[in-house]
Structure 1
Amino acid sequence: MTNIYQKLVAIRKTIDAFTKDSESFGYSYVSGSQVLHKIKDKMDELEVVLMPQVLNQHHETFDYVAKGKEKTDFIVTGDMKYVWVNAENPEDKIEIPWQFMGQQDDISKAFGSGLTYSERYFLLKFFGVPTDSDDPDGKDTSGKQGYSKPNSSNNSNGSLASEKQLNLVKSLLKKKVTGEWTFEKLHQGLKQKLNTTVDMENWTKSQASQAIEILQSDKKDAAS
């Protein structure tokens, strides 16, 4: 009988590169439907089940001003794990620790979007599928060649980041502040990761999108 590791390798072999086919809050991303479509048939064929388990959940409110109006968002975070199960032998399984976080103007939507985002990036990172400039970002979703990703060290390319994006970056940075790591120190560390000397207020949408992805997927300090 094929074990769970062998089955997951077989699933991985069916996946090629993804393209960023959806957009939200001014940044592009790989849709969850695209990810699941790539692996669902092979999972069914090999009888592999993926079970998400939420271990704990925390929430807080984030107040900000957008277009002159006061707004309040809910930020939901928590620890979880994903469990790959071999349906032919349920004792044959793999448990992987993970995290989720979401921000919306409604707490239930924040929780739901956090789980959706978490699942998408779990699958991308688990299977090691390229989504960076070396593959899908070097072309558009219609398959046309010749598109170049904006240079992250120069904010003259691309439109400026939206207020929503910047507020989310600031909120995620604030959650990482400690006695050793001040907000400004974290900010400088994030700029280094983006290979830019430009402060976040003048980032492009692409830079802000990269910053959000870094902060939401990296369990370690943004400046480490």
Structure 2
Amino acid sequence: MEIYKKLLKLQQAVKGLAKDKKGNNYTYVTGNKLLSFIKPLMDENHLILKQEVLSIDNERMDYKTGIGTQYEKPKSEILTKVMMRFTWIDCETGEKDENLFGANGQNEWEKGLGSALTYAERYFILKYFHIATDEDDIDNPDRKPEETPDVKHLVNNAKTPSTPIDIDRLKTRLESCSNLESLASTYKGFTPLEQKATKAIAISLKESLTKKTA
């Protein structure tokens, strides 16, 4: 069928989309970004996507926000569950491809249905064409390159070590060194965090020992 050849063209054109919006502690691909890629391809291939709502189920959801704080208060929203039929139509041949798809959306009273419809459209297209949305997906052209951890950067920006550092003990070890070689060897034996914590002490002792040997 000609319609499937055209749908394949759409699938081949879009390998992956990086998530472009963050909300409620998760990131996702917005409908605007998705349609900006898909709609021109639909127009080019004379395809339309007909959307029909087959059923709507609304449920009131009562919960509290800011639990355990001075801002705690009750809130109510509507959870809308929709069952839809998405039909691809080839305007040149009249061929069709029908698909059933269900989705949920929870929002304020008048927005529950809109959220469900928006979610359904976005994820139907993403799943129909197997569009990768994960930033680390190997097929995603917007995939971020892997970064090699910068140990020095991690050490310098560490807020607190996992094990408390005994500064007095480290200072005693450094002060027991009688020459520059012993001081250097002892200091190099410390962990990066211990070295950072005792750097000023080591420098002071190094200057002192240098004067003695001068």
In 2: Cα distance, 1:134 partner to 1:122 partner: 21
The letter for the 1-side match of 2:102 is Q
The letter for the 2-side match of 1:51 is K
1:77 match: 81
2:193 match: none
Q: Percent identity?
A: 35
Contact 1:48 1:86 (C-alpha < 8 Å) held by counterparts = yes
TM-aligned CA distance change 1:15 to 1:22, over 3 Å:
same
| Secondary structure, aligned partner of 2:13 | coil
Give how far 1:138 is off. 8.9
1:31-180 matched pairs, under 5 angstroms: 31-67=30-66, 68-90=72-94, 92-106=95-109, 108-132=110-134, 134-135=136-137, 144-146=144-146
In 1: Cα distance, 2:140 partner to 2:100 partner: 32
How many residues align structurally?
A: 143
In 2: Cα distance, 1:9 partner to 1:113 partner: 29
CA-atom RMSD, angstroms?
Answer: 2.4
Q: TM-score, normalised by structure 1?
A: 0.59
Give how far 1:51 is off. 0.9
Give how far 1:147 is off. 6.3
The letter for the 1-side match of 2:116 is G
Contact 1:138 1:145 (C-alpha < 8 Å) held by counterparts = no
Contact 1:78 1:101 (C-alpha < 8 Å) held by counterparts = yes
| Secondary structure, aligned partner of 1:57 | strand
Rg larger in 1 or in 2? 2
In 2: Cα distance, 1:60 partner to 1:50 partner: 28
In 1: Cα distance, 2:118 partner to 2:15 partner: 21
In 2: Cα distance, 1:80 partner to 1:125 partner: 15
Q: Mind listing any 5+ residue stretches in structure 2 that lack a counterpart?
A: 67-71, 149-214
In 1: Cα distance, 2:51 partner to 2:40 partner: 19
Q: Mind listing any 5+ residue stretches in structure 1 that lack a counterpart?
A: 149-224
Show CA shifts across 1:28-86 (max 9, x none). 00111111111211110110000111001010101001121011010110211100000
In 1: Cα distance, 2:43 partner to 2:130 partner: 21
The letter for the 1-side match of 2:101 is W
